[in-house]
Amino acid sequence: MMSLYAIQLECLISIWGILILLVDAFKPIPNKRTVGYLAAGFVAVALLYSFAMQPVPDTFFHGMFRLDPFALYFKRLFLLALAAVLLMAAEFSPRNRIGRGRILCAADVLRGGNAADRVRE
């Protein structure tokens, strides 16, 4: 069960990205700017939630994944950058479609911040 605790931010961001893709596929929203602001708001909520998470000294998934203070720092940094990118992209939505895949790419970036072997000695 602790393994799910370690990857809960990645799961939340992935589920949100999939929901955005499904909603846009089956019921397109005419104002894409609204979608960008909603996505940025959800990422901001996930960022705030990350401050409630506590580091765990163990490794997960057979030593490949870790939730230490360094990993939490990078998760927060990536979530802040993603929220900023989504807000900037929402401003240009009439000229440029908001990349719905940005949130799913961010989930992969968040996962990369938790790699147990970031630097080999």
pLDDT in tens, 63-111: 777 788 888 888 888 889 888 888 887 777 555 554 555 665 666 566 5
Q: How far apart are CA 3 and CA 7, in angstroms?
A: 7
**Amino acid 1: pLDDT:** 59
The residue ranking higher by pLDDT, 102 or 22, is: 22
pLDDT digits (tens, 9 = 90+) for 37-61: 888 888 899 999 989 988 887 777 7
With tokens 């989930």, the residue in question is 107
Q: How far apart are CA 29 and CA 91, in angstroms?
A: 16
- Asked if 89 and 102 touch (Cβ cutoff 8 Å), the reply is yes
For residue 117, give the DSSP letter. -
**Amino acid 114: pLDDT:** 55
Q: How far apart are CA 90 and CA 84, in angstroms?
A: 10
**Amino acid 48: pLDDT:** 93
**Amino acid 51: pLDDT:** 92
